Amino acid sequence: MISKINLIIIATILIIVSSCTINSNRMLRTPKNYEFDKIENELSELEYQIDVNDQLTFQLYTNNGFQLIDMFSATANGGIQTQRMMQSGVAGAGLGSGGGLYLVRIDSLIEFPIIGDINLVGKTIKEAEIYLENIFSEFYVDPFIVLGVSTRRVFLFSGSSGGEASVVNLGFNNMTLFEVLASAGGISSSNSSKKIKIIRRTKEGIKIFNADLSTINGINEGNMIMQSHDIIYITPNFNLGSEIAQDINSVFSFISTISIVWLTLTQINQ
């Protein structure tokens, strides 16, 4: 009898250990006393920079964009037609692809009409517009260029129970961490506002920041401007009690099922 009891106890312990899921869903853990990259004030003033795999919208107008102003002064009959031309990007020079997209390839180059491959990675939208205007000035009179990025997005992991990750589009220029969190519904009660990791790929390598938004002192960190492909991970609160209870309940359910089956077989054999 004693040996059977010992076997049952050993089997129960093995089941508990093998089925333990405490904190198994946590990602991107850092060692104790890990030194995060510092969130400088400049990161709150850093404009969005074009990156690899971005898709750009491109429109070119001549005469410093005179057509844009002239379209709005068109007559009522012709106003709708010219406004549609402006939205499709074909007014003036005829370049604009009618809403087409220009992909920033993995080699950082973008293929534009006439001028071919150009590297715009690392430039802000305004810097890229001025850069292209200087190049196209060899072919057009006073070119005026309008650029946009249609695929700016960050990856937000905000759940402690899993299945709550989302891709947040940066629909506005220079969106901050506060705006991204607000777009996703804020920080839930199961997550910690003290430990928000931002992982960013830069020319110098991968940088990992930690934002503490639990106090008013975190305003500057919350105003950090997000860049495309940033990873934002909100660390879940450490809720040991409930996770242990869930594991124990699952083990006891398994044991009770086995016991019922064993008792049933014993009664049949008798």
- Which of 157, 208, 215, 163 has the alpha carbon at shortest distance from 187? 157
The pLDDT value recorded for residue 128 is: 95
The pLDDT value recorded for residue 16 is: 53
- Which of 151, 124, 132, 149 has the alpha carbon at shortest distance from 61? 132
Least confident stretch, 45-49, 145-149, 231-235: 45-49
Domain 55-149: which CATH number of 2.60.40.10, 3.20.20.70, 3.40.50.300, 3.30.1950.10: 3.30.1950.10
Tokens of 169: 């589009």
How far apart are alpha carbons 132 and 124 in whole angstroms?
Answer: 12
The pLDDT value recorded for residue 48 is: 85
| pLDDT tens-place string over residues 37-84 | 888 877 777 788 888 888 999 988 888 877 766 655 554 445 444 443
Decide if pLDDT at 235 tops 60: yes
In sign, the C-alpha dihedral spanning 202, 207, 210, 216 is negative
Residues of the chain with CATH 3.10.560.10: 41-47+152-234
Global pTM exceeds 0.75? no
Decide if pLDDT at 225 tops 60: yes
Q: Are 68 and 146 in contact (CB under 8 A)?
A: no
Domain 41-47+152-234: which CATH number of 3.10.560.10, 3.40.190.10, 3.30.470.30, 1.20.1250.20: 3.10.560.10
Least confident stretch, 70-84, 130-144, 150-164, 232-246: 70-84
Tokens of 152: 């700016």
| pLDDT tens-place string over residues 163-201 | 577 889 888 878 999 999 998 888 887 788 888 999 998
The pLDDT value recorded for residue 193 is: 87
**Residue 234 or 24, more confident:** 234
Decide if pLDDT at 212 tops 60: yes
The pLDDT value recorded for residue 74 is: 52
The pLDDT value recorded for residue 119 is: 95
User: Rounded to an integer, what is the distance from CA 53 to the centroid of its chain?
Assistant: 14
Report the 3 state secondary structure along 217-259.
HHHHHHCCECCCCCEEEEEECCCHHHHHHHHHHHHHHHHHHHH
Query: Which whole number is the average pLDDT over 223-227?
Result: 90
Residues of the chain with CATH 3.30.1950.10: 55-149
The burial of 237, by beta-carbon neighbours within 10 Å (0-12 exposed, 13-18 middle, 19 or more buried), is given as: middle
| pLDDT tens-place string over residues 84-133 | 343 444 444 445 434 468 999 999 999 998 899 999 998 999 999 999 99
The pLDDT value recorded for residue 180 is: 93
How far apart are alpha carbons 95 and 86 in whole angstroms?
Answer: 11
